[in-house]
């Protein structure tokens, strides 16, 4: 089971660079890059901050994938 996200797609839609989003949510650009690649699962706080910037719900940005998914 893993968590995927639409950050890259949404960022492109908003025409934000990785650095733009990183500055808005208070992390480094490398963290945004790691999130987009799926190498890092964010904390609930960071995930909600990202959703807040995109003005979307958590479910719209992050999806739980895997065998045990309900």
Partner 1 sequence: MKFRSYLLSLTVLALFGWVMIAYYDSALDIKSTFDDPNSNGFGFTLNVLPIILFLIVTLPAAVMFTRRQRKEKKGWKEALLFPPEFRERDEREKALTSKASRNSYISMMIVLPFLAVCMLFQPFVSDYFAAYPIVILMLFPVIQITVFYLSIKKRLQ
Q: Residue from 46, 48, 56, 58 that binds partner 1 (CB under 8 A)? A: 46
What token pair was written down for 13?
Answer: 């839609």
Which residues between 5 and 44 bind partner 1 (CB under 8 A)?
26-28, 30-31, 34, 40, 42-43
| Least separation in angstroms between CB 28 and partner 1 | 5
Can you give the binding site for partner 1, defined by CB under 8 A?
Answer: 26-28, 30-31, 34, 40, 42-43, 45-46
């Amino acid at each position: 089971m893993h968590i995927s996200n639409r950050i890259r797609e949404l960022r492109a839609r908003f025409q934000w660079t990785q650095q733009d989003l990183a500055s808005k949510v208070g992390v480094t650009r490398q963290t945004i890059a790691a999130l987009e690649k799926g190498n890092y699962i964010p904390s609930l706080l960071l995930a909600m901050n990202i959703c807040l910037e995109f003005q979307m719900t958590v479910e719209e940005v992050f999806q739980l994938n895997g065998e045990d998914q309900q």
